[in-house]
Structures are given as structure tokens and as C-alpha cells.
Amino acid sequence: MAIQFNQVTKKYGSEKALDNVTLQLQAGKIYGLLGPNGSGKSTTLKLIAGLVYPSSGAVTVLGEEVTRRISRKVAYLTELDMFYDSLTVDKMVSFFKTQFPDFNPEKAAMLLVDMKLDGKKKIKQLSKGNRGRLKLVLTLARETPIVLLDEPFSGLDAMVRDSIIKSLLTYIDFNEQTVIIATHEIDEIEPIMDEVFAIYNGHIIGHENVESLREEQGYSVLEWFKSIMGNEESD
């Protein structure tokens, strides 16, 4: 099992961002983690990346209970920190190479071309769409067993979204890498997901295999998600 949550609760102060979550993710699949704002998606990813720790319960990644050291096996990028703003795109790529032994510079170079990013531009000069693309370049150039993408589409236009999906299909090694995409924008990733989890108020409220959802139940992921969210909200 690539990732396991065993009765995981994560509190910030007295608020439970995750409440007694148990789940298992298999290696080599693309998972969607779907939920509205504030449902616990980012917290789930941060627990896997070792950026926060459970208040109770345990998170295990590749058989190891998660500590900071898991960053060697998990590629995870949320925001490009303001700290990097004065670096050029090329310098940022070189910096990542020094930080992560699994960073593949050839892959990064190909991704930069695909994403039409100018290596000489400073990060602060990049449009929001190009920052989104750069984030993806830096994440996908790492050859880690686990890849976490937090809202990779947010605020980006249709062309950027398409280029992100294409690069996922091109650069993810589907035999080796487990990918989790946290998003509330379901349409985009519908075609590439193997399995979906729905999260609401810190609880996992649904888990489906996308193919059987479609073929056996005749639902798209979006329809399924809307129906279970509707049940929650009318409770």
C-alpha cells in the first residue's frame, strides 16, 4: 500500500480539519481528492508530505510512519514562496536540482519547453498561469514515488489547464508513481483519474473507482460528487 491513514484526526486549535479518517491508496494510481473549500483536502496532502502531523492516529507512506524525512519520497508544491520571487525560472530549476537528488534536469528542460516558459524571466514577472505552469514543472521533474498536486488548476485558463493535463499524462510514470490531485474543479481531471475520494467537513464521505462508477452505475464523477454532496447538505 502506498499510503495509509489509520483513524487520523488533525486539529488546528480546537477545530478538527480531519476527523477520524481511515483510507488506503495503492501504488501506481491517480487519485482525485474532491471537496469544497475548507473540507480538509490540503490538510490531507500536508499530512502525507510530513508538513503537519496527526493529532491522533497514524499516517504511513511506503511503509514508513511519516516524518519530515518523507519529503525525499513525496513531491509536493502548493505555492511558490515570495522568497523566490527575484530568482529566474532557470535559477529556480537549478535550486531544485540542488535540493532534491531525485530531480531530473532533462525532464525539467522538456517540461519548460512544453509549458512554453522562458527560463530567463524572473518569477515575479510571471503571470498567474505561468506560475502555475512552473509549479508543475518543478513538481513533475522530481522522480518520486508519490506526487501531490494541490489545486493545480485554480485561477488558470482553459489553455493552461489543458497543458497541465497533457503534461501529467506525459511525465507521470504510471507504473511507479502514485498521484493525488486535490481539487474542487472536477471536470478537468475526470478523464485521468483512477479513483476518487470525496471529502467534506473533515470526513471521507465517498470513495469510488472511476471506471466502475461510469460503467456499472452510469455516473460521471461530477454527477456522483454532486449527488453525495447533496445528501450531506440536506442532512
Ligand X SMILES: Nc1ncnc2c1ncn2[C@@H]1O[C@H](COP(=O)(O)OP(=O)(O)OP(=O)(O)O)[C@@H](O)[C@H]1O
Contacts with ligand X by CB under 6 A lie at: 12, 15, 17, 35, 37-43
> In angstroms, what is the minimal distance from the CB of 185 to ligand X?
10
Helix, coil or strand: residue 12: strand
> In angstroms, what is the minimal distance from the CB of 27 to ligand X?
24
| Residues 193 and 222 sit within 8 Å (Cβ to Cβ) | no
Phi-psi region of 170 (alpha: psi -120 to 50; beta: other; left: phi over 0): alpha
> In angstroms, what is the minimal distance from the CB of 196 to ligand X?
15
Among the listed residues 33, 43, 59, 70, the one whose alpha carbon sits nearest the alpha carbon of residue 144: 70
Q: Which is nearer to ligand X, 38 or 105 (CB)?
A: 38
CA–CA gap between residue 168 and residue 67 (Å, rounded): 27
CA–CA gap between residue 198 and residue 213 (Å, rounded): 13
For residue 127, give the H/E element and its range.
none
> In angstroms, what is the minimal distance from the CB of 82 to ligand X?
18
DSSP-derived letter for residue 184 is S
Q: Which is nearer to ligand X, 92 or 156 (CB)?
A: 156
> In angstroms, what is the minimal distance from the CB of 37 to ligand X?
4
Cite the beta strand spans of 93-163 per DSSP E. 146-150
Q: Which is nearer to ligand X, 37 or 175 (CB)?
A: 37
CA 165 to chain CA centroid, nearest Å: 13
Q: Which is nearer to ligand X, 37 or 98 (CB)?
A: 37
Q: Which is nearer to ligand X, 40 or 145 (CB)?
A: 40
